[in-house]
């Protein structure tokens, strides 16, 4: 069987496209995408009305100072819902990503009246900002 150069080129193109799509899918399945802390600061402006980032002050929501590595529902002097106190999660980029996607879905019964961030890049950006700024 003889394959023409044009057909061979088409097969090679198809194989390269399939490999690129497979690699992109694997990268996406690996976890949250890389975020940009500069853009995350802009996204965080939506959170700042209720959450302090650096002083530890409790507002309408708990302080996010030191959020990465902290157990959910553990800030003193904040009245968490039972659902948040008993969630048993430690905040890390992957758990924050899941929570920020849909807070009420991730922690049914939470008091956080925020619908979530549907854009995965915005979530990655705000998580990058929290990692950099909420120390």
Q: Closest by alpha carbon to 67, among 127, 6, 3, 10?
A: 127
Strands (DSSP E) found in 1-135: none
In angstroms, rounded to a whole number, what is the distance separating the alpha carbons of residues 29 and 71?
Answer: 25
In angstroms, rounded to a whole number, what is the distance separating the alpha carbons of residues 7 and 11?
Answer: 6
| Res 33: pLDDT | 78
pTM: 0.74
List the end-to-end C-alpha distance of the chain, in Å, as a whole number: 66
Widest CA span in the chain: 77
pLDDT tens track of the chain, all 135 residues?
565 555 544 444 444 433 333 334 444 444 557 999 999 999 999 999 999 998 888 999 999 999 999 999 999 989 999 999 999 999 999 999 999 999 999 999 999 999 999 999 999 999 999 999 877
Q: How many helices (H) and strands (E) does the chain have?
A: 6, 0
In angstroms, rounded to a whole number, what is the distance separating the alpha carbons of residues 110 and 83?
Answer: 6
Strand partners, 71: 90
């Amino acid at each position: 069987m003889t394959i023409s150069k044009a057909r061979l080129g088409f097969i090679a193109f198809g194989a390269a496209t399939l490999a690129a799509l497979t690699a992109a899918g694997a990268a996406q399945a690996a976890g949250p995408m890389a975020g940009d802390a500069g853009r995350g600061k802009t996204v965080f402006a939506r959170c700042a009305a209720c959450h302090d980032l650096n002083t530890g002050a409790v507002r309408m929501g708990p302080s996010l100072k030191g959020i990465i590595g902290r157990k959910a529902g553990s800030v003193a002097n904040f009245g968490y819902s039972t659902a948040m106190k008993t969630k048993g999660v430690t905040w890390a980029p992957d758990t924050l990503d899941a929570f920020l996607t849909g807070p009420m879905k991730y922690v049914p019964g939470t008091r956080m009246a925020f619908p979530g961030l549907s854009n995965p890049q915005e979530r990655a950006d705000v998580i990058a900002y929290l990692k950099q700024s909420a120390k």
